[in-house]
Amino acid sequence: MNRRPLPGTAGTAGTAGTAGTAVAFAVVVLSALLSACGEMPPSETLDVLIVHGTVVDGTGVAGVESDVGVLGGEIVWVGRSRRAAARDTVDATGLVVAPGFIDSHNHTAPEIAELDKRLNEGFIRQGVTTVVGGPDGGFSPGQIRRLIGAYEANGVGTNVAFYVGHNGIRREVMGEEQRRAPTAEELARMKALVREGMELGALGFSTGLMYEPGMFSTTDEVVELAKEAAPFQGVYDTHDRSPVRDYLGSVREAIAIGERAGIPSKEGHLKTVGLENRGKNREVIAMVDSARARGLPLVSDQYPYDGAATSTLERIVVVPEALAKRAGFDLEAALRDPRTRAVLKESSENGIDGGFAWIKATGYSSMRVTRSADYPDLVGRYLSELAAERELDGFDLVAELILGAKDTVGITLGAVLEEDVRELMVQPWNMIASDGAYSDGITPRGHPRSTGTFARVLGRYVRETKLLTLEQAVYKMSGFPAEFHGFQDRGRIAEGMAADIVVFDPATIADRSTWEQPQLYAAGVHQVLVNGAFVVRDGELTGEAPGKFLARQR
Q: Encode pLDDT of 130-152 as tens digits.
A: 999 999 999 999 999 999 999 99
Domain boundary among 95, 114, 148: 95
What percent of the chain lies above the pLDDT cut of 70?
92
Average pLDDT over residues 478-483: 98
Q: Render pLDDT for 38-55 as a digit per residue (tens, 0 to 9).
A: 455 545 799 999 999 999
The pLDDT value recorded for residue 30 is 40
Domain count for the chain? 3
Asked if residue 13 has pLDDT above 70, the reply is no
Do 255 and 299 share a domain, yes or no? yes
Do 252 and 385 share a domain, yes or no? no
Average pLDDT over residues 474-489: 98
Domain boundary among 381, 412, 443: 412
Among 239, 193, 187, smallest CA distance to 356 is for 239
Do 263 and 328 share a domain, yes or no? no
In a domain, 417, yes or no: no
In a domain, 15, yes or no: no
In a domain, 259, yes or no: yes
The pLDDT value recorded for residue 112 is 98
C-alpha span between 373 and 48 (Å, rounded): 49
Cα separations in angstroms, 331 against 290, 352, 403: 49, 17, 9
Neighbours of 430 (CB within 10 A): 21
In a domain, 356, yes or no: yes
Cα separations in angstroms, 95 against 111, 126, 402, 453, 460: 32, 15, 48, 20, 17
Do 326 and 397 share a domain, yes or no? yes
Asked if residue 28 has pLDDT above 70, the reply is no
Q: What is the DSSP letter of 80?
A: B
C-alpha span between 478 and 458 (Å, rounded): 13
Q: Render pLDDT for 65-109 as a digit per residue (tens, 0 to 9).
A: 999 999 999 999 999 887 789 999 999 999 999 999 999 999 999
Do 164 and 258 share a domain, yes or no? yes
C-alpha span between 285 and 251 (Å, rounded): 10
Do 495 and 451 share a domain, yes or no? yes
Q: Does the CA dihedral 444-446-448-450 come out positive or negative?
A: negative
Q: Render pLDDT for 340-380 as a digit per residue (tens, 0 to 9).
A: 999 999 999 999 999 999 999 999 999 999 999 999 999 99
The pLDDT value recorded for residue 39 is 58
Domain boundary among 95, 112, 137: 95
Do 173 and 113 share a domain, yes or no? yes
327 class by beta-carbon count within 10 Å (0-12 exposed, 13-18 middle, 19+ buried)? exposed
Asked if residue 201 has pLDDT above 80, the reply is yes
In 403-523, DSSP assigns E strands to 410-412, 430-432, 501-504
Residue pair 137/214 in contact by the 8 Å Cβ criterion:
yes
Residue pair 515/448 in contact by the 8 Å Cβ criterion:
yes
Residue pair 109/68 in contact by the 8 Å Cβ criterion:
no
Asked if residue 467 has pLDDT above 60, the reply is yes
Q: What is the DSSP letter of 229?
A: G
The pLDDT value recorded for residue 253 is 98
Do 346 and 204 share a domain, yes or no? no
Q: Render pLDDT for 531-548 as a digit per residue (tens, 0 to 9).
A: 999 999 999 999 999 999
137 class by beta-carbon count within 10 Å (0-12 exposed, 13-18 middle, 19+ buried)? buried
The pLDDT value recorded for residue 43 is 57
Among 372, 278, 303, 269, smallest CA distance to 126 is for 303
In a domain, 9, yes or no: no
The pLDDT value recorded for residue 40 is 56
The pLDDT value recorded for residue 444 is 81
For residue 540, what are the contacts with CB-CB under 8 A and spacing of at least 6? none
The pLDDT value recorded for residue 220 is 98
C-alpha span between 50 and 538 (Å, rounded): 13
Do 90 and 113 share a domain, yes or no? no
CA–centroid distance for 197 within its chain: 21
Do 157 and 279 share a domain, yes or no? yes
C-alpha span between 532 and 89 (Å, rounded): 13
| Residue 502 binned pLDDT confidence (cut-offs 50, 70, 90) | very high
Do 270 and 124 share a domain, yes or no? yes
Judged by DSSP in three states, 234 sits in: coil
Q: Which domain holds residue 131?
A: 103-307+424-541
Q: Render pLDDT for 388-431 as a digit per residue (tens, 0 to 9).
A: 999 999 999 999 999 999 999 999 999 999 999 999 999 999 99
The pLDDT value recorded for residue 17 is 42
C-alpha span between 134 and 202 (Å, rounded): 9
Do 112 and 194 share a domain, yes or no? yes
